[in-house]
Amino acid sequence: MEGDSTFSSSTRRHFLHGAAAGGVVVGVGGFSAVSQWFFRGREAGRAGGLGAFQPSQAVEVDEAAHVINRLTFGPAPGQHAMVTAMGARNFVMEQLAPELIDDGAAERRSRQFEALGAWPAGELLEHDPRALLDQLTRDKIHRAHHSRRQLFEVMVDFWSDHFNIDPSKGDSRWLKPVDDRRVIRAHAMGNFADLVRASALSPAMLWYLDGRDNRLGTARELPNENYARELLELHTLGVHGGYTQRDVMEVARCLSGWTVRARSGSRMAVGRVEFEAARHDDGSKDVLGTVIPAGLGRGDLDRVVELVAHHPATARHVAFKLCRRFVADDPPEAVVAAVAHVFSESRGDLRRTLAAVFGHEAFWASRGGKIKRPFHFVISALRATAARTDAGRAVQDYLLRMGHAPFQYPAPDGYPEEAQPWMATLLWRWRFAAELAANGIKGTSLDPTGLLAAAGGTEAALAAHLLGRQPTPAEQAAAQNCPSPLALLLASPAFQTC
């Protein structure tokens, strides 16, 4: 099966049914044992020098390198051998069941960010919002770098863009950590309708898109339509989803009356989401051709979520975005249609939907065709070199200069996925690669000599590790003739693609 370009029908059934049941149970114990062995060795290597590992021996990017490139934030030393041993498709299955993966080391690392714990929203007011943003960013970098639940972290990144919030607006600067924990991380691989509902009632989202100011209109005052428009245009149906301006206004009426406590009165009430019936338009509405009867009160929100989350246009919109993330910037129509079908059939089950992406031949045929976004590039460089980092200001400044600082995109559509907007970042990528290889980034360090030795002691072996395949003669010659082969390889076009 390892040489096939698609799953067999029996494997696909197992894949989808396991994901729908909340995780792949049959066989995962064996896969996890291999994975746990790899990560124990990796942590031991961090403590006392890297152990020897086998880089890829393939001439082209193989299945193991491909799934590492697409489902994770990049290969760590020895990971290619681990995925090869367990089977690339088994690695996909394991990643679709993150709750079965022991991620205790990454979780313990995240506990240093005290403000991101399960505190009431009001408690966050004690923090400088700049310190909150720093902790949120450092935690994201650390999790992407160290988590064994790599696909989960990739999906957290995906949904953070899909339901983007700029925390510089109003109380969002204190409430975004709550959104990250209760909305994005809580539902990243769950059910899409639950994710939409949680986002609609997120205190940070109610601030960011003015939902808190959406109240029963008068002859002179229309409902605030900001959130309703983005809900339809960005979060669900998509810009070409067939809705009208009237649908936007009707959805705004349905969502009127929801508000969030601001920084006045009791501190403990700050960030509390409340429904004020007197501010709600409780009349009959017509949304996307469906009549929502009068008198439902707060139930209007559930009816709207049901309509938009399960609309055929939403299935296609979400499928297209997932295929653009994991397959190609311009994914083939066949894979988008297949994924949209599973999304609809499963009522928005995100694991089954992802399984449809990874089970399609288009996914396996799309090797090396995407450009890493800056965050992916930086994290993959840290992972590939087994770097230690405090994820502090120096690393964050590079992300800022590359235009991809986490949680700092001002528009509600989130950071772009396609390659073209990121092509202007190449100079800063090269500088990052050179400074990282030279241990010139404050708070970040690595052992280039130890990495070279662990990979096999030659520039060709180092290149095979970083590129996920054997280097071409031109790449090997360039590395051998360069004062810093590591910097050259990290800056190379092949390392910057996935």
CA distances from 335 to 113, 328, 365, 384 (A): 40, 10, 11, 30
Of 2-16, 405-419, 458-472, least confident by mean pLDDT is: 2-16
| Dihedral sign computed on CA atoms, order 155, 94, 374, 185 | positive
Q: pTM of the full predicted structure?
A: 0.91
E strand or H helix that includes residue 388: strand 388-389
Mean pLDDT of 58-82: 98
In this structure, what token pair is assigned to residue 397? 């400044």
| Dihedral sign computed on CA atoms, order 111, 199, 343, 154 | negative
CA distance 249 to 390: 47
The pLDDT of residue 118 is: 63
Alpha carbon 286 to chain centroid distance?
Answer: 34
CA distance 155 to 191: 13
E strand or H helix that includes residue 312: helix 312-326
The pLDDT of residue 26 is: 32
The pLDDT of residue 49 is: 65
The pLDDT of residue 218 is: 66
348 pLDDT higher than 60? yes
Tens digits of per-residue pLDDT, 165-208?
999 998 999 999 999 999 999 999 999 999 999 999 999 999 99
2 pLDDT higher than 60? no
Nearest to 19 by CA among 163, 168, 196, 191: 191
The pLDDT of residue 47 is: 40
Tens digits of per-residue pLDDT, 331-347?
999 999 999 999 999 99
- DSSP structure string for 211-272: GGG-----SS-PPP-HHHHHIIIIISS-TTSS--HHHHHHHHHHTTTEEE--SSS-GGGTT-
The pLDDT of residue 268 is: 64
CA distance 478 to 462: 13
CA distance 143 to 183: 17
44 pLDDT higher than 70? no
pLDDT bracket for residue 113 (50, 70, 90): confident
Nearest to 407 by CA among 201, 131, 173: 173
- Average pLDDT over the chain, rounded to whole? 90
* Annotated domain spans of the chain: 9-102+312-364, 107-309, 374-491
The pLDDT of residue 31 is: 54
29 pLDDT higher than 60? no
The pLDDT of residue 271 is: 83
- 213 CB-contact burial (10 Å; exposed 0-12 / middle 13-18 / buried 19+): middle
Residue appearing with tokens 């729908």: 20
Of 62-71, 265-274, 298-307, 365-374, least confident by mean pLDDT is: 265-274
Mean pLDDT of 372-389: 98
429 pLDDT higher than 70? yes
pLDDT bracket for residue 120 (50, 70, 90): confident
Task: Name 107's Cβ contacts closer than 8 Å, sequence gap at least 6.
Answer: none
Residue appearing with tokens 């998509």: 238
The pLDDT of residue 111 is: 86
CB atoms within 10 A of CB 200: 25
Alpha-helical segments (H) within 49-125: 63-71, 79-86, 88-95, 104-110
Mean pLDDT of 36-56: 66
CA distance 279 to 216: 5
In this structure, what token pair is assigned to residue 331? 């994914």
Mean pLDDT of 214-218: 81
Provide the 8-state DSSP code for 472: P
281 pLDDT higher than 90? yes
pLDDT bracket for residue 267 (50, 70, 90): low
